[in-house]
Amino acid sequence: MSKMSAALRFWKSVGSRFLGELAPRCGYRGCLQPRNRWRRMRGRSGSVRMQGMLYCSAACLERALLEVLRAEHSGSKGTTLTPHRIPLGLILLSRQQLTADQLRCALEAQRKVGSDVPTPKKIGEWLQDFGFATEQQVTAALARQWSCPVLRNLPASMAASFPLPIPTLLLEHFQVMPVELVEATGSLLMAFGGSIDYSILYAIERMLGYHTQPCLVRPSILRKSLLAIAQHHGVNDVVFDCLQDIAECAHIIGNYTSTVRAEEVRLARCGEHLWIRLERLPREAVTLVLRVPRSYSLAAAQI
């Protein structure tokens, strides 16, 4: 009798695990859908995954998105910059590419303008404007600051053969572009035209699964390449600008997920931008870019 009871318990546990895989529980803790497994199996066709969890409906996904976006906002530190060890001007002075008087002149001009303009010039730009340093010299000094290599040129065919689904808007905003992908090691070399912002590198790793490495290239070269990329790619990216709160973001993502019948939602924050990928294999993924000011109110974001 004990052997029969043990066998029954074994097969019952096997059946329970099997049904659990066929009809997993909704990832949203406040799900109002039927908890009966057979009923969940009938409604499984509208489910979607996000961050390893399965959500049974668009309503549950939208509520879960609100929680995720709240967490993204609370944990976001904005631009992720590494403190410089040596100021740019001192590097140029040490290389005898700049005099102390020239540096003081550029610093004084930068101080007078201050932060009154929307995009204040960096000291390297002031040095170039006055003719005290060349673009190549400033780029080499930046590479010394960031301890990364410098590319003299970018491949001429890079724009036409751009293989990665990174939103063009983000590439232009962060002044960065992919240079080389080594599939064997999963390494992706990203070229910046100035300061390196690690938030976009972290986002690429999270969304696409590659290990990123930064390098620098002259800004003039990068701008030409980004212009060529914009002409070949990015037309399918859906962009929403100046949204009011995260409730609006969650609603937009939920609606698009239902409309395109996505099977998985991926998202990453890059400064004020939210990068969304709606996976729907074997069809091409849909890319959304949402921009929400950092001043939005979390308290007002209710669904």
Domains of the chain with bracketed CATH: 2-58 (no CATH), 88-146 (no CATH), 150-235 (3.30.300.160)
DSSP state at residue 98: S
Q: What is the pLDDT of residue 10?
A: 52
Asked whether 47 and 263 are in contact (CB, 8 A), the reply is no
The tokens describing 249, both together, are 């973001």
Q: From CA 187, how far away is CA 96, in angstroms rounded?
A: 36
Q: Would you call 17 helix, strand, or coil by DSSP?
A: helix
Q: What is the pLDDT of residue 296?
A: 52
Q: What is the pLDDT of residue 14?
A: 47
Q: Would you call 274 helix, strand, or coil by DSSP?
A: strand
Packed helices 219-232 and 135-146: angle between N→C axes, nearest 10 degrees: 90
Rg (CA), the chain: 25
Asked whether 197 and 173 are in contact (CB, 8 A), the reply is no
Chain position carrying tokens 């995720």? 68
Q: From CA 140, how far away is CA 128, in angstroms rounded?
A: 13
- What is the mean pLDDT, run by run of 10 residues, along the chain of 303 residues? 58 49 69 56 66 84 86 60 76 94 94 78 94 96 93 69 81 92 91 92 93 95 87 74 84 91 91 91 90 56 39
Q: What is the pLDDT of residue 211?
A: 95
Candidates 132, 111, 131, 134; CA nearest to 122 is 111
Sign of CA dihedral 228, 230, 232, 233: positive
